[in-house]
Structure 1
Amino acid sequence: MQDIDWGDVSHCLAVIQEGSVTAAAKKLGVNHTTVSRRISALEKTLQASLFDRSTSGWSVTPVGESILPSLEQMQEAAGAIERSVRADRQDLSGTLRVTALDVCIQRILLPGLKAFGEKYPSINVELLASEESLDLAVHAADIAFRTTNDPPPNVVGKKIANFNYGVFGRKSVWEDYLSGQGGVGAITWMLDGKAVPEWLRQSYPDMPIRYRSNSLNVIYDLIRQGHGFGELPCSLGNSDPDLIRIPAQGVMEPMGFWLLTNLDLRTTARIRIFRDFMLNYLQPIVERFESQSAL
Structure 2
Amino acid sequence: MDAQSQDWNDLRLFLAVARAGTLSGAARALGINHSTVFRRITAFEERLGVRLFDRLPNGYVLTAPGEEMRDTVARIEEEIAAMALKVTGQDQRPSGTIRITATDMLAVGVLPPHLAAFRAEWPRIELELLVSDSVLDLARREADVALRVGNPVQDTLVGRRVGRLAFAVYASAELLAREAGDPERGDWVGYGSSHGPLSRNLARWWPGMRQVCRTNSITAAVAAAKAGMGLAALPCAIADREADLIRLAPFPEDFGLDLWLLTHEDLRQTARIRAFLDFITGALAAEADLLEGRAPRRGTGGTAAAEG
Counterpart pick for 1:93 among 95, 102, 110: 95
- Contact 2:165–2:291 (Cα < 8 Å) also in 1: yes
- Separation in structure 2 between the aligned mates of residue 232 and residue 251 of structure 1, nearest angstrom: 15
Return closer, same or farther for 1:149/1:250 CA change in 2, 3 Å cut-off.
Answer: farther
What SS is found at the alignment partner of 1:118?
helix
- Separation in structure 2 between the aligned mates of residue 173 and residue 204 of structure 1, nearest angstrom: 19
Return closer, same or farther for 1:249/1:233 CA change in 2, 3 Å cut-off.
Answer: closer
Indicate yes or no: 2:146 matched with 1:159. Answer: no
| Offset at residue 174 of structure 1 (A) | 3.1
What SS is found at the alignment partner of 1:97?
strand
- Separation in structure 2 between the aligned mates of residue 193 and residue 94 of structure 1, nearest angstrom: 35
Q: Deviations over 1:233-290 (max 9, x none)?
A: 1222222232222336566721111111111111111111111122222222111111
- Separation in structure 1 between the aligned mates of residue 106 and residue 181 of structure 2, nearest angstrom: 35
Residue equivalent to 1:133 = 135
Residue equivalent to 1:215 = 217
Output the amino acid matched with 1:102: D
Indicate yes or no: 2:110 matched with 1:115. Answer: no
- Contact 1:169–1:230 (Cα < 8 Å) also in 2: yes
- Separation in structure 2 between the aligned mates of residue 194 and residue 157 of structure 1, nearest angstrom: 23
Q: Deviations over 1:118-149 (max 9, x none)?
A: 33333221100111222222221111111115
What SS is found at the alignment partner of 2:127?
strand
Unpaired runs of 5+ residues, structure 1, are 1-85
| Offset at residue 172 of structure 1 (A) | 3.3
Return closer, same or farther for 1:280/1:201 CA change in 2, 3 Å cut-off.
Answer: closer
Output the amino acid matched with 1:88: Q
Output the amino acid matched with 2:170: F
- Contact 2:192–2:215 (Cα < 8 Å) also in 1: yes
Whose radius of gyration is greater, 1 or 2?
Answer: 1
Percent of pairs identical after alignment? Answer: 31
- Contact 1:156–1:260 (Cα < 8 Å) also in 2: yes
Residue equivalent to 1:178 = 180
| Offset at residue 206 of structure 1 (A) | 3.6
Return closer, same or farther for 1:161/1:103 CA change in 2, 3 Å cut-off.
Answer: same
- Contact 1:166–1:292 (Cα < 8 Å) also in 2: no
Return closer, same or farther for 1:103/1:196 CA change in 2, 3 Å cut-off.
Answer: closer
Q: Deviations over 1:213-247 (max 9, x none)?
A: 12111111111111111111122222223222233
Unpaired runs of 5+ residues, structure 2, are 1-89, 298-308
Give runs of aligned pairs for residues 1-295 of structure 1, distance below 5 A: 87-89=91-93, 92-148=94-150, 152-178=154-180, 184-191=186-193, 197-198=199-200, 200-247=202-249, 249=251, 253-291=255-293, 294-295=296-297
Q: Which moved more, 1:251-260 or 1:265-274?
A: 251-260
- Separation in structure 2 between the aligned mates of residue 262 and residue 291 of structure 1, nearest angstrom: 31
Residue equivalent to 2:31 = none
- Contact 1:160–1:259 (Cα < 8 Å) also in 2: yes
TM-score normalized by the length of structure 2: 0.58
What SS is found at the alignment partner of 2:139?
helix
- Contact 1:239–1:294 (Cα < 8 Å) also in 2: no
- Separation in structure 2 between the aligned mates of residue 196 and residue 87 of structure 1, nearest angstrom: 41
Return closer, same or farther for 1:156/1:170 CA change in 2, 3 Å cut-off.
Answer: same
| Offset at residue 197 of structure 1 (A) | 2.8
**RMSD between aligned residues:** 3.1
Return closer, same or farther for 1:173/1:204 CA change in 2, 3 Å cut-off.
Answer: farther
TM-score normalized by the length of structure 1: 0.61
Return closer, same or farther for 1:95/1:188 CA change in 2, 3 Å cut-off.
Answer: same
Residue equivalent to 2:82 = none
